[in-house]
Structure 1
């Protein structure tokens, strides 16, 4: 696509990202100029050159790539999707790679943030929103129901929590606080740690002591909900994975047996989720809820860069359109404001 066309939309994500492909195809269909770039292209497939002097006061330059460059000052919207980390030569020592990574982060981070652009989502906002203690408090402040939750590295505290839940007629589940993918030390492959029911007998005092664990009172499910919020637009998918015992706890274990349905949330829940995304400084959020058998909506978590394309395929939810509308509309406004 021509670099002379405006406005410019920057899509920052990894090279293989089927979800981002949906947006790229839609921009191509609309003949809207955009650049898809991954930080992992630096330095092998990307160069950076930028300068500033006392006369101008603005940075000039570009991120140069063989296929297409990104001119500083020409970006109007940025979709911070899932870029990978900088990839440095293997011959560097660990300390040299750390130094190079920090220098590259400082350069790219500063120059990208100087762009007068609309972000979906701003990196620092995404990073903050990923912390589950912050998510849960923010959801509660918006009147959303949340599960009873404990974060601890004390086995005694965990056992007491499990006993209290059992007395109240509830099981307890364990889930990760951050990354759910871990590397198997034997195979070297990534494995997912799914949400799982846990009992007192399952607890390993030594393992819990090493790192904080998140435990929650299990919430009875009629359906799991994946709610995708783009600005003030809300798209809700009902997910029924009750065909398997594991799927009842975590639908990700049973994709082959899941059934989907399109749902409309009550206005008060929908409005609260839009406000929650805004409170967290986000323009996009993928939110997991539980619809209980007695029709209550319980907030579980929000992912600032969560997946949604498979729901568009299953249910025809126009999420791609909403994302492209937001990025294109903001870019047009930015461009008009700069030239108005």
Structure 2
């Protein structure tokens, strides 16, 4: 049986479940959002874990494969910005401890992706080192809270962008939720930077783009999408600002050397799924930006028809059979 760790709002899991049902694969979905867990029972007798959600009971003895889209209690943006009382904090903390007890019990079966490997891989500083060791071009970067060092880096680069190493969503004073994106800055912007009391920021040399690529790796299979972000004034610096009507997407074939390096990176990181972002410059050189061990893909599938959900389902089904 495949165990899917998600929340009730995960449309990516919904898409994969369609293919799992079509293939007759047995799976159990454990949603980790607060509302779902408040209607979930779980027990551990020292040998076996048993949990029940939505009227479906699952035993750890039957699980042969895990797909981890979520690991801990999943809070909505509104819940994240509410002041938690002591009872809520204890409830969430005990659930998380219990969940990790279940995960430890299942540590010897197949995971997409293994917890420790995904945690390390999502550290961008670490993955930069791995990507560089495999021969990828990386834009020069500097992470620092030294104003002098930041100014020197900006002076050496024709153009720089500030890159956030975390991808959180924040609630603004007016109640709106906003993400943080890559932005071009100049020396004048850095003049407002305080000093050592500031948090470190990351500057990256800005690479002139011809287009961008989202390359999705699924257990040995490759799906590459060209994103023509330079045709949109809103998405030209960071396509995650999503101006889809003005940003053409199309399926492409990544160069064999890029595929070889991606295979090597995924092997070294110990991952079976990863969403890679690249810049392709005017000289057709591919610049590595990052890999996300749980990156989204559904918008690409909808726009260009790449069968990513089907491949995720196929991989989970095959891995589950091997472990049975």
Asked whether the two chains share a fold, i.e. TM above 0.5, the reply is yes
- Paired residue for 1:194, among 167, 178, 181? 181
Alignment of 1:1-340 (within 5 A): 8-41=1-34, 43-52=37-46, 59-82=47-70, 85=73, 94-115=85-106, 116-166=108-158, 171-184=159-172, 186-203=173-190, 204-206=192-194, 209-253=197-241, 254-335=243-324
Q: CA deviation at 1:120?
A: 0.6
Structure 1 window deviating more from structure 2 (217-226 vs 64-73): it is 64-73
Aligned residue for 1:210, secondary structure, equals coil
Q: Flag the 1:61–1:131 CA change in 2: closer, same or farther, 3 A.
A: closer
Looking at structure 2, the residues matched to 103 and 84 of structure 1 have their Cα atoms a distance apart, in angstroms, of 11
Q: Flag the 1:105–1:302 CA change in 2: closer, same or farther, 3 A.
A: same
Looking at structure 2, the residues matched to 113 and 71 of structure 1 have their Cα atoms a distance apart, in angstroms, of 15
Looking at structure 2, the residues matched to 142 and 329 of structure 1 have their Cα atoms a distance apart, in angstroms, of 29
Structure 1 window deviating more from structure 2 (105-114 vs 269-278): it is 105-114
Q: Which blocks of at least 5 consecutive residues in structure 1 are unaligned?
A: 1-7, 53-58, 336-340
Q: CA deviation at 1:66?
A: 3.5
Structure 1 window deviating more from structure 2 (137-146 vs 188-197): it is 188-197
Contact 2:20/2:314 (CA < 8 Å) preserved in 1?
no
Contact 2:12/2:309 (CA < 8 Å) preserved in 1?
no
Aligned residue for 2:249, secondary structure, equals strand
> Which protein has the larger Cα radius of gyration, Structure 1 or Structure 2?
1
Q: Which blocks of at least 5 consecutive residues in structure 2 are unaligned?
A: none
Looking at structure 2, the residues matched to 118 and 298 of structure 1 have their Cα atoms a distance apart, in angstroms, of 32
Q: CA deviation at 1:188?
A: 2.5
Show the counterpart of 1:4.
none
Q: CA deviation at 1:86?
A: 6.0
